[in-house]
Amino acid sequence: MKRYSIFKTKMGWVGIAGTDGRISDLELPKPSHDEAESALKEGIEGTLVESEHDFSGAAEQIAAYFAGERVEFDCEVDISHAGAFDQRVWAAAKAIGYGERETYGGLAARIGCPGGARAVGQALGRNRILLGHSVSSDSAVRRSTGRIRVRARVEEAAAGDRKQIELSKGEA
């Protein structure tokens, strides 16, 4: 049975879920607790039980990250549901340094799959946990999901723009 927690950050309400304290799902900031909870539950099958205690360390790290602080995540994640290719892509994305960017093609080259930019983009789209920053080959974010918009805002904070960033309703 998966457990989940919803908590407030400077960028909005975030949801995390997983089993045995290992995170398998993360919903990036939403304007309200209810929207974060609903979005998190949308992609998860089975019963979910709310539990703040299972993810307290991870919640603190994620809140610090969305406050623009440099964070070395040490929370455990569960990616066992993913295929080998997705796991390789996600590991390469996780290796991208704080505030740095990489193209899908660059990630494909890192994992020994030159010409695999589209497959890398699809693998990142299946990722339910924020692991790194990537952009399309022309340095423009092509996906229009809330995850990418929020990711771009986190990149702004990482680049030194420390102003408080708030999500307006409908942006997430």
Question: What does the chain come to in residues?
Answer: 172
Q: Residues 73, 153, 95, CA angle at the centre, nearest 5°? A: 35
Q: What is the pLDDT of residues 15-58, one digit of tens each?
A: 999 988 888 888 889 999 999 999 999 878 888 899 877 787 88
Per-residue pLDDT at 135: 52
What are residue 144's phi and psi, to 5 degrees? -105, 20
pLDDT of residue 137: 52
CATH class of 2-66: alpha beta
54 burial level (CB within 10 Å; 0-12, 13-18, 19+): buried
Alpha-carbon gap, residue 94 to 132, rounded angstroms: 5
The separation between CA 83 and the C-alpha centre of its own chain, rounded to angstroms, equals 18
Domains 2-66 and 84-140 agree in fold: no
Task: Report domain extents, the chain.
Answer: 2-66, 84-140
Residue 97 burial (C-beta neighbours within 10 Å; 0-12, 13-18, 19+): exposed
Mean of the pLDDT values across residues 164-168?
Answer: 34
DSSP code of residue 55: G
The model's confidence at residue 170, banded by pLDDT at 50, 70 and 90, is: very low
Distance CA 96, CA 7 (A): 26
| CATH 1.25.10.10 correct for 84-140 | no
Residue 68 is predicted with a pLDDT of 83
Does 126 score more than 60 pLDDT? yes
Could you give the CA distance from residue 1 to residue 19 in angstroms, rounded to a whole number?
7
Pairwise CA distance, residues 166 & 172, whole Å = 10
- Mean model confidence pLDDT for the chain: 76
Estimate to the nearest angstrom the gap between the alpha carbon of 70 and the chain centroid. 15
pLDDT above 90 (res 155)? no
